[in-house]
Amino acid sequence: MPATPHTKLLILCTAAVAAVYAGAYVYTEPSAQAAGSAGSVTGTKAASRSTSNPNANTNAPASGKKTSPTSPSSGGSTQVKYKDGTYTGSGSNVYGDLSVAVTISRGKIAAVKITSYNMHYPQSYVDPQMNQEFVKMQTYRVYAVSGATASSYNFAEAVYYALQRARA
């Protein structure tokens, strides 16, 4: 039975969608592998800045905003011991960069503050919602704020790098 024009269009569209998903998977897989490679550690990378996204496969709640539907791969389930003090980190991507100061008290995240913000969306999209989530969850792995995903990822990346410096 010959394929109708509608069947051909359906096959073409299906192939196009599959190609887009495959391309996205290939593009994000290195970040996903890096984010999952440390397992029991709250972070995974050691450099202070990177354009890759250590939070690509993870999300956790950001108060008052819609979030992505995926869940954290290791969440805040394992506690990492941190040295008390204030540590800095930064994150950047094509939309800008930001820096944070993370305060550790009694080995736990006590406060997170954005010290420098130069992103596409206003700082109010991620601050103070995500700050509170980092403290609540005790990890950099929190949900991305819908509508400010790139800013959310940079924020999480910056917190990740600060936490790497704070590791006991």
Q: Report all structural domains of the chain as residue ranges with CATH numbers, in order of start.
A: 5-166 (3.90.1010.20)
CA-based nearest residue to 81, from 58, 109, 55: 109
Which residues of the chain form beta strands (DSSP E)? 85-93, 96-105, 108-118
Q: Tell me: the pLDDT tens digits for 13-53?
A: 888 888 877 777 666 655 544 444 333 333 333 333 333 44
CA-based nearest residue to 140, from 57, 26, 51, 68: 57
Q: Tell me: the pLDDT tens digits for 50-101?
A: 334 444 433 333 344 433 333 334 444 456 689 999 999 999 999 999 999 9
Q: How far apart are CA 162 and CA 112, in angstroms?
A: 10
State the pTM of this model.
0.56
Residue 10: predicted pLDDT: 83
Q: How far apart are CA 1 and CA 76, in angstroms?
A: 56
